[in-house]
Structure 1
Amino acid sequence: MKKLLLLSALLCGHVAHAQKLTATERKIVASVQQNMPKNEKLLEQVVNINSGTLNVQGVREVGTVFQKEFEALGFKTEWVAMPASMQRAGHLVAQRKGTKGKRLFLIGHLDTVFELDMPAGKFTRLTDSTATGQGVNDMKGGNVVMLAALQALQAQGLLKNASITAYFTGDEERGGTGPEARADFIARARQAEIGLGFETATNLHTVATARRGASTWQLNTYGKAAHSSGIFRPDVGDGAIFEAARILNAFRETLSKEQFLTFNPGLLVGGSEVVYDAARARGQVVGKTNIIAPTATVSGDLRFLTEVQKETARTAMRAIVAQSLPQTRAEITFTDGIPGMAPTAGNQRLAALADQCSHDLGLGPVAAGDPGARGAGDISYVAQYLDCLDGLGVSGKGAHAAGETINLKEFPKLVERAALMIYRLTK
């Protein structure tokens, strides 16, 4: 009897939520469910194509698969080429122009971190609710969520007057250098009103209203080469390696407690002779234990939530670098990368829309996640120009590592939510 009462309560709750959907919205949900087997096959197809950023042919091959799917939905597609010297595949753009509702800019990327020489498996079902494969959640699954949502709307004739640009970059994981890499991306985004990113969802109940930015820094320290027996003497000094250690430890002591700010020295070389190749992230060094090192190089990253936080941190780091140990000197340079996506009122309104759609679908609440838990992403390049929401892709675990998974149980639910959001924004 108790089991019957519980089942009745659950069914009543589902019906109550379903009644919050209009007849058109219920048809959208039905279309999503009908198309899921086909779209899971599509996901398997693109996952089984290696598209590491530097595998230009593979990135283009994945893009061509999506290009055909978007053209079938009536989108006009084109490839935005990058300079040959950049050695990147370029970007796929699919566009429909209309006059109804908000102008949307939907963001995905075709590349993965898995290059041809890295271990990464094909699409493989592990259980009824889990599958693995290279880029299955970051972010080939997210690309399919976007496409599947639009397919459900097209099936009901709801894209006729919508203004939507779907933009798939080819080098999100290892961005090409120079302003050309994102110039077209930014220009097209500025013509829209709302940006929706389909990067990995933390889970069914979390979206991203903010993301940290990422930049790099390089520290060079110099000391006086001499016999090790004279180290710390006033005329010899402390050497380049101790100066690098002083600076790194001062960074840690001064800045490590600040919320959302992180800085990581990822490579350090020091000795009598140092050759550092920044492009290849490699260093060669020669040194002896009885020689005080005259030079050291450290390279690292700096992650931050806002531009103000980034600049404040850089000012503090420069001040620390300027306080040299005896007979040493140091210099630090900073290189901008992906900007931060600050949490704005407009972004929060989009999170509220996701929450409402989720409730109306009977899926439970949705809230903004911790920005510190997410890395940098393409959406941050345009977040200063329009309201943005990210984390609308598939859920899963282990992104950027062999064994990366997708939660197949949540996959259709996330497509339903995305379709409902796009419909309500464009109707």
Structure 2
Amino acid sequence: MTMHRTVQVNVDAMLEDLRTLVEVESPSRDLDALAVSAKAVAAVIEGRLGGRASVVESAAGPHVHWSGGGEPRVLFLGHHDTVFPLGTLERRPFRVEDGHATGPGVFDMLGGLVQAVHGLAALEDRSGVEILVTADEEVGSHGSRALIEERALACGAVLVFEGAADGGALKTGRKGCGTFEVRITGRASHAGLEPEAGINALVEAAHQVLDIAALARPEVGTTVTPTVASAGTLDNVVPAEAVVVVDVRVESAAEKERVEAAFAGLTPHLPGAVVTVRGGVGRPPMPESASDGLFALARRLLPGIEGRAVGGGSDGNFTAALGVPTLDGLGAVGGGAHADHEYLVVSSMAERAALVAGLVEAIRDGS
């Protein structure tokens, strides 16, 4: 099996659709902006694939779902929310220069959506394919997870159109990831007159940060990183409250359980201080075993393409945890996710779209 050679895609048309999506800003949690974005995504899908793309309302914003009919065989998974606030487009408009497309969301992950749609549009038979584009991936997928899992189980295979890994590699594994909030409650007092009457939440937070950082096990891929801290009100008041936010990444379910248990077991060092923990590892790990079969298909279609396990999470974590074969990183080749230098390599778009078409046919044929 080699790349589906009859696939013909128009890169100019792909860039036209990419411009349309980028120029409709869609920051997570902005429900009005997401509603406009969902309509734009639905219009692009319907314009290229025909049929009807349904807008599925949720508390987190509207998702978009399209089906090619027939027995469901493969789910295309993506999201239309971005991390960029309204107004970013004015400062950083969509441009195509020197072989790169730039603008908010081109790499994460509007370019991948466009490639997926155009790759599928190149096939006369689009049956068995579903497309689900969610509105809240960047903020945890709390409003879309149930729908993602439902459609993944129904389809039996998932292709995720997040941006590619470095050099265009597919993402064959992902760490589980989550956020913990550790809140310390102490007691305020005058820092000069009677500091001993207070319970210093900032000092307690310092103890907790050291305990938390010690939970990391980099030798097995577990990172535990305090990222944000706040405490205190005035320079002459013993702080009564402090908050520490922690980013956690794990490669195995066993490490997820260990770290969550350790956070639940945090105890105060100062008499009278209270430690309260919220959060957890919300996205389970995506083991590389989940992508083995689909990655083998991709390698047969595009010999030499690489696979790589990465630290960031995606909605593919959820589908892989269900035991549904999942391959990620099929989206744009480029880089700079979540940054001002975000870009997409235009010359890669046609090849990635052709890979989409080849994977669909191989999955439907049971190759």
Please give the TM-score of this superposition, normalised by the length of structure 1. Answer: 0.77
Aligned to 1:296: 242
Deviation at 1:403, TM superposition (A): 2.8
The 1:165–1:125 alpha-carbon spacing in structure 2 relative to 1, beyond 3 Å, is: same
| Equivalent runs, 1:314-325 vs 2, <5 Å | 314-319=260-265, 321-322=266-267, 324-325=268-269
Deviation at 1:169, TM superposition (A): 0.3
The structure 2 residue matched to 1:111, chosen from 74, 77, 81, is: 81
Tell me, yes or no, if the aligned pair for 1:111 and 1:173 is still in contact at 8 Å.
yes
5+ residue gaps in structure 1?
A: 1-19, 272-285, 360-364
Is it true that 1:378 corresponds to 2:315 in the alignment? Answer: yes
- Alpha-carbon distance between aligned partners in 2 of 1:241 and 1:256, rounded to the nearest angstrom: 26
The 1:21–1:382 alpha-carbon spacing in structure 2 relative to 1, beyond 3 Å, is: closer
Deviation at 1:209, TM superposition (A): 1.9
Aligned to 1:306: 252
Give, as a single letter, the amino acid of the residue that structure 1 aligns with 2:21.
Answer: V
The structure 2 residue matched to 1:345, chosen from 263, 267, 289, is: 289
Tell me, yes or no, if the aligned pair for 1:97 and 1:164 is still in contact at 8 Å.
yes
Aligned to 1:97: 69
- Alpha-carbon distance between aligned partners in 2 of 1:66 and 1:405, rounded to the nearest angstrom: 20
Is it true that 1:264 corresponds to 2:225 in the alignment? Answer: yes
The 1:300–1:254 alpha-carbon spacing in structure 2 relative to 1, beyond 3 Å, is: closer
Tell me, yes or no, if the aligned pair for 1:231 and 1:292 is still in contact at 8 Å.
no
- Alpha-carbon distance between aligned partners in 2 of 1:418 and 1:136, rounded to the nearest angstrom: 18
| Equivalent runs, 1:119-198 vs 2, <5 Å | 120-127=91-98, 129-154=99-124, 158-159=125-126, 162-175=127-140, 177=142, 180-198=143-161
In the TM superposition, what whole-angstrom CA distance separates every residue of 1:133-183 from its partner, at most 9, and x where no partner exists? Answer: 1101111100011001101112xxx32xx3111000012223465xx5432
SS in 2 for 1:366: coil
Deviation at 1:312, TM superposition (A): 0.4
Aligned to 2:274: 330
- Alpha-carbon distance between aligned partners in 2 of 1:312 and 1:230, rounded to the nearest angstrom: 43
Give, as a single letter, the amino acid of the residue that structure 2 aligns with 1:169.
Answer: T
- Alpha-carbon distance between aligned partners in 2 of 1:151 and 1:65, rounded to the nearest angstrom: 17
Give, as a single letter, the amino acid of the residue that structure 2 aligns with 1:332.
Answer: T
Give, as a single letter, the amino acid of the residue that structure 2 aligns with 1:239.
Answer: N
What's the RMSD between the two structures over aligned residues? Answer: 2.6
5+ residue gaps in structure 2?
A: none
Tell me, yes or no, if the aligned pair for 1:213 and 1:304 is still in contact at 8 Å.
yes
Aligned to 1:6: none
SS in 2 for 1:208: strand
SS in 2 for 1:92: strand
The structure 2 residue matched to 1:63, chosen from 25, 29, 38, is: 38
Tell me, yes or no, if the aligned pair for 2:213 and 2:226 is still in contact at 8 Å.
no
SS in 2 for 1:402: coil
Tell me, yes or no, if the aligned pair for 1:215 and 1:336 is still in contact at 8 Å.
yes
Deviation at 1:219, TM superposition (A): 1.5
Aligned to 1:241: 202
Give, as a single letter, the amino acid of the residue that structure 2 aligns with 1:315.
Answer: A
Give, as a single letter, the amino acid of the residue that structure 2 aligns with 1:165.
Answer: E
Aligned residue pairs, count: 362
- Alpha-carbon distance between aligned partners in 2 of 1:174 and 1:254, rounded to the nearest angstrom: 25
- Alpha-carbon distance between aligned partners in 1 of 2:275 and 2:52, rounded to the nearest angstrom: 50
Deviation at 1:387, TM superposition (A): 0.7
In the TM superposition, what whole-angstrom CA distance separates every residue of 1:253-311 from its partner, at most 9, and x where no partner exists? Answer: 3425354323333332223xxxxxxxxxxxxxx2334x433332223332323332122
Tell me, yes or no, if the aligned pair for 1:220 and 1:297 is still in contact at 8 Å.
yes
Is it true that 1:217 corresponds to 2:180 in the alignment? Answer: yes
Tell me, yes or no, if the aligned pair for 1:105 and 1:192 is still in contact at 8 Å.
yes
Identity of aligned residues (%): 25
Deviation at 1:130, TM superposition (A): 1.2
In the TM superposition, what whole-angstrom CA distance separates every residue of 1:185-214 from its partner, at most 9, and x where no partner exists? Answer: 222222111011000012455111222233
SS in 1 for 2:15: helix
- Alpha-carbon distance between aligned partners in 2 of 1:416 and 1:169, rounded to the nearest angstrom: 24
- Alpha-carbon distance between aligned partners in 2 of 1:75 and 1:91, rounded to the nearest angstrom: 17
Give, as a single letter, the amino acid of the residue that structure 2 aligns with 1:26.
Answer: R
In the TM superposition, what whole-angstrom CA distance separates every residue of 1:206-255 from its partner, at most 9, and x where no partner exists? Answer: 1112222332222222445455479997xx68722111101101222342
- Alpha-carbon distance between aligned partners in 2 of 1:231 and 1:318, rounded to the nearest angstrom: 33
Please give the TM-score of this superposition, normalised by the length of structure 2. Answer: 0.88
Tell me, yes or no, if the aligned pair for 1:339 and 1:381 is still in contact at 8 Å.
yes
Give, as a single letter, the amino acid of the residue that structure 1 aligns with 2:128.
Answer: S
Aligned to 1:27: 6
The 1:174–1:205 alpha-carbon spacing in structure 2 relative to 1, beyond 3 Å, is: closer
